[in-house]
Structure 1
Amino acid sequence: MAAVSDFFSIGSIVWCRTCYNSEFEGEVLAFDPQTKVLILKCGSSNGDPKLNDVEFINLSLVSELQVKKEVTSVPEVPQSLNLQRLNTRVRNQVEEKRRMLQAIAANVSSEGQSLFIAISKVIQEVRWRNSDIIVWNQEVIISPPYQPDNIRGNTSSKGYSFIKKFVEKHMNDLALNSQHSGVCQNNRPSQ
């Protein structure tokens, strides 16, 4: 674990590596010595120079830490965070993780898990009922082995048509990926 100083000056530039091998570098926005949480303003993960990511770093999980630039002057008052936007983003991340855990906990095939996760990234109203994937409160039901022929619902609804096309595309993408990985494995040089 990295050595934790008594405080970090706001505005200093810090680099750290977590025990999960993730690296962060950014400007110190805040530090809480009691909880050992460091808040960094980092470059945007989407590459937009007008935006920044805010990372909450638990220093108990940091394996390396470097202060790249120490600021000794009193910093300006930082701008307030858009807490509503931050809360929405956190809620969305938590919800996505919850859906992924549901897929894993459903004890179904990897194809079923993969399809559930793909649908849940596009549609919020998706859940498991035993081994069936339920979309839009039972408007569409997908049963094992999760192929287009295993979709039930009102065939004249737009939702049914959308899900059928979605499942067909997902299955085609899986088939292409497995063919591609097979080609890559077959073309490996022998050792």
Structure 2
Amino acid sequence: MAESSECFNIGSLVSCKTCFNEDLQGEVLAFDPNVKLLTLKSAASSGRTSLCDIRMVNLSYVSQVTVIREAAASPLPSLPSLNLDKLNSRAKRSIEAKQRLIQALQSGVTPDGQKLFLTICKTIEEVTWMGPNILVMSQVIITPPYLPENVREHKDSKDSNMKTLNYIKKIVDKFHKDQQSVSLNNGTNVAPVVAEVQPVSQ
């Protein structure tokens, strides 16, 4: 067994005794000499072989470190290149979604309207606010109170597409049915059960 040094190679097996007299042992995943932080990987305390425990050990609170098995120093693996265009596109979409939500709040849109808007955004990207109205694909407009009967073709739309209109109506209808189901499951808006009693003939 070799005594600890100022640097630990990735993959080395290390044993540490903490100031609480606790023995920790594991494989070195990372080491930051500037803050004396050692990251160790060991078998899962749950006993599941598909999992492992990861511990971050501050060496300032360790009384003894022993290197049980030294791993050969090797260059770190190269990281995969990032698709910057994809990341920028995702960031732009996220910013646009937040801006649309801010527009909705400023327009005094009801919580139901905001939820419906977010529901439509999950399946269709081209969704915007026109004041308190939801505009979908520049073809369909949904006006408050955002019920299926409030879904109609947008008058400024260049294309008339009944298929899109009917599809949006189905989304709105399903949204309201799901909302009612959630309300019933939570015990709210439940109509009282009234039993009709018929007179019994003697």
State TM-score, norm by structure 1. 0.52
Looking at structure 2, the residues matched to 85 and 125 of structure 1 have their Cα atoms a distance apart, in angstroms, of 18
Q: Does 1:158 align with 2:163?
A: yes
Q: Does 1:124 align with 2:129?
A: no
What is the match of residue 83 of structure 1?
84
Contact 2:104 2:132 in 1 (8 A): no
Corresponding letter in the other structure for 1:89: R
The alpha-carbon deviation at position 162 of structure 1 amounts to 0.6
Other structure's SS at 1:75 match: coil
Across the two proteins, how many residue pairs are aligned to each other?
Answer: 125
Q: Percent identity?
A: 35
Deviations 1:46-86 (A, max 9, x none): xxxxxxxxxxxxxxxxxxxx745999955233332232333
Q: Is 168-177 or 103-112 further displaced after alignment? A: 103-112
The alpha-carbon deviation at position 98 of structure 1 amounts to 2.8
Contact 1:99 1:120 in 2 (8 A): no
Contact 1:96 1:121 in 2 (8 A): no
Looking at structure 2, the residues matched to 109 and 130 of structure 1 have their Cα atoms a distance apart, in angstroms, of 12
What is the match of residue 16 of structure 1?
none
Corresponding letter in the other structure for 1:146: Y
Looking at structure 2, the residues matched to 83 and 72 of structure 1 have their Cα atoms a distance apart, in angstroms, of 34
What is the match of residue 103 of structure 2?
102
Other structure's SS at 1:123 match: coil
Q: Does 1:145 align with 2:145?
A: yes
Other structure's SS at 1:97 match: helix
What is the match of residue 113 of structure 2?
112
Contact 2:104 2:131 in 1 (8 A): no
Specify whether residues 121 and 105 from structure 1 end up closer, same or farther in structure 2 by C-alpha distance, changes over 3 A only: farther
Is the helix fraction higher in 1 or 2?
Answer: 1
Other structure's SS at 1:182 match: coil
Alignment of 1:26-37 (within 5 A): none
What is the match of residue 172 of structure 1?
177
Which blocks of at least 5 consecutive residues in structure 2 are unaligned? 1-7, 12-28, 33-54, 60-70, 155-159, 189-202
CA RMSD of aligned residues (A): 3.7
State TM-score, norm by structure 2. 0.50
Which blocks of at least 5 consecutive residues in structure 1 are unaligned? 1-8, 13-26, 32-65, 184-191
Looking at structure 1, the residues matched to 72 and 104 of structure 2 have their Cα atoms a distance apart, in angstroms, of 50
Deviations 1:91-122 (A, max 9, x none): 33333333333333331111111111111222
Other structure's SS at 1:94 match: helix
Greater radius of gyration (CA): 2
Corresponding letter in the other structure for 1:177: V
Other structure's SS at 2:187 match: helix
The alpha-carbon deviation at position 153 of structure 1 amounts to 1.3
Alignment of 1:6-25 (within 5 A): none
